[in-house]
A and B are shown apart, each in its own frame.
Chain A
Amino acid sequence: MSYYDVLVIGAGPAGLAAAHAACAGGVKVGIVDDNPLAGGQIWRGGPDQQTDPRAQSLWNTLRDAPNVTFLPQTRVLYSPEPGQLRVQTAAASDTLRFGHLILATGARELLLPFPGWTLPGVTGAGGLQALAKGGYPLRGKRVVVAGSGPLLLAVAATLKLKGAHIVAIIEQAATPAMARFAAGLLATPSKIAQALRLAAQLKDVPYLRDSYVRAAHGDGTLQSVLVQRGKGRGLETLQCDYLACGYGLIPNVELAQALGCATASGGAGTATVVEADHWQQTSVPGIYCAGEGTGVGGVDLALVEGRIAGLSATGQIVPTHADFGQRARWRKFAAGLARAFALRPELATLAGDDTIVCRCEDVCHGELRTHTTWRCAKLQTRCGMGPCQGRICGGATEVLYGWRPDAVRMPISPARIDTIIA
């Protein structure tokens, strides 16, 4: 059992920025991540491998700091008592003690069911990007990138770089919303540069707005997708080897909830986020939250929130007006993004009665749609009771049926018996 003055969960931009700020205070800092390498989603493959100079600079400082320990491939499962976290690696388990805790657990993709979405070859959009960064062989493969949001462009660019042929990018949002979003970019010039760079990389790739995937077909593995083009333009079949389909991001709030931190949501269609005050502190004293967990906002917001959390947790009261100003600016950007890419109602009507919604337990739409709450569906169908513990179907059932998960089950991820009884 080891002790850290500040324990950071998540080694993405938010967690690294938090650890960086905290370690300057001279205290003992631990960084935990379930991946083999640091970097989180955007810097997957290691911060030292990125072209973003912020990644390298954070990592170099952390690597050289004598007071920082990195615990890779370590997953946090639950808190046996206040001030402690139970963690598990592939081979062992342990309890970590902490003075202050910074949660920087990021976000996951919203994946929605449609006929054929369980076929091998159908992945999340960021999902295929993540797999590609881990060496997934895509050279010469035909990939349709679909769903919603600016992540689709980043994904397509990465996959193209890995040698994939991008058949098309399919964006569910309609043109007017996209135009409003583009105009909003004027307030954040660095995002314009990024958008132009992506546009140049993807100039020969068809970008179909106001369109969405209705179904995936294939005999054993994926062979084609059926695309609904904007109103009145009918259906189109695209041949492909992979469909990378994601509908935006949902914050990972389960660990925060398990620790008793209050969460909030702006109502139907908006994500549940961890509540954090001006200093990024949650409703539980000594526990901070930074990055996508407090609301999806991208790398720039994650970095500044992480920095503020790290400084606050170590009592270095120098988060400056500049930090707070930046945070406000990026939050506004994120809100504009969420409005521009709001999901169209048709997406909730694609699943047929025999379409699987809960992939862990093979529970179909026909079995679920007659239930009225998540709890009732769980008890009667086992939906959400499998190994992913509702991480995938929970987002889907919220969009399809308006259900919200009621409580977090412990441990928050599958655990070995020896982890729990040791």
Chain B
Amino acid sequence: MFEFAAHTFANNRANGDKGDSLTLSINARAITVAPGVSVAAAIAMAGSIVTRRSVGGAARAPLCGMGVCQECRVTIDGRPHQLSCQTLCADGMHVQTGALERAA
């Protein structure tokens, strides 16, 4: 019933074997990165490190870099609350940050 995306050692290098660059979109803007780059890094490369807005509307960016603080949450391919520090970029991925949202 359940399918695990990456299950084996062969898949471990995730995008590693797919060539030397991949293109994704950050807030509808295309960006090309090397394989093995995290979504958090791609967001920073796209110009603003902001990933989300706090309850009070302040801009926040990655803090712990290791999947603990949840400050790096973004929407990836329509799925909200994904940790951008623990997700590798994939070709054709769509990332939406909270950078453009207004203070509450």
Binding site for B on A (CB under 8 A): 34-38, 41, 45-46, 62-63, 69-75, 89-94, 108-109, 111, 118, 120-124, 126-131, 134-137, 220-221, 356, 359-362, 386-388, 391-392, 414, 422
Chain A proximity mask over B1-32: 1 for CB below 8 Å, otherwise 0:
01111111101111000000000000000000
Cross-chain contact A134 with B81 (CB below 8 angstroms): no
Query: Quick one: which of B38, B49, B50, B60 contacts A134, CB cutoff 8 A?
Result: B38
Cross-chain contact A135 with B66 (CB below 8 angstroms): no
Cross-chain contact B70 with A134 (CB below 8 angstroms): no
Given contacts A36-B6, A72-B12, contact A392 B64 (CB under 8 A): yes
Q: A136-B38, A136-B44 given. 13 additional CB < 8 A pairs? A: A70-B8, A73-B87, A92-B3, A92-B5, A118-B54, A121-B61, A127-B66, A127-B69, A129-B65, A130-B65, A130-B85, A134-B38, A392-B68
Query: Quick one: which of B36, B63, B70, B79 contacts A45, CB cutoff 8 A?
Result: B36
Specify which chain B residues have a CB less than 8 angstroms from the CB of A46 in the assembled complex.
Answer: 12-13
Specify which chain A residues have a CB less than 8 angstroms from the CB of B62 in the assembled complex.
Answer: 123, 127, 131
Specify which chain A residues have a CB less than 8 angstroms from the CB of B58 in the assembled complex.
Answer: 118, 362
Question: What does DSSP make chain B's interface, helix, strand, loop or mixed?
Answer: loop
Given contacts A386-B70, A387-B70, contact A134 B64 (CB under 8 A): no
Cross-chain contact A124 with B81 (CB below 8 angstroms): no
Closest Cβ–Cβ distance, residue B77 to chain A (whole Å): 9
A62, A72, A129, A359 — most chain B CB neighbours (10 Å):
A72
Given contacts A34-B86, A127-B66, A130-B85, contact A359 B71 (CB under 8 A): yes
Complexed CA–CA distance, A63 and B8 (Å): 9
Cross-chain contact A387 with B44 (CB below 8 angstroms): no
Query: Quick one: which of A35, A108, A118 contacts B86, CB cutoff 8 A?
Result: A35
Cross-chain contact A135 with B54 (CB below 8 angstroms): no
Given contacts A118-B58, A359-B69, A360-B70, contact A92 B6 (CB under 8 A): no
Would you call B94 an interface residue if the criterion is a C-beta within 8 Å of the partner chain's C-beta atoms? no
Cross-chain contact A362 with B55 (CB below 8 angstroms): yes
Given contacts A36-B14, A36-B87, A36-B88, contact A359 B5 (CB under 8 A): no
- Some 28 contacts from A to B, beta carbons below 8 A apart, are A62-B9, A70-B9, A70-B12, A73-B86, A90-B79, A91-B3, A91-B5, A120-B49, A120-B60, A121-B49, A123-B61, A123-B64, A127-B63, A127-B64, A130-B85, A131-B62, A134-B36, A134-B41, A135-B34, A135-B38, A136-B41, A220-B59, A221-B49, A221-B59, A362-B55, A386-B70, A387-B73, A391-B69
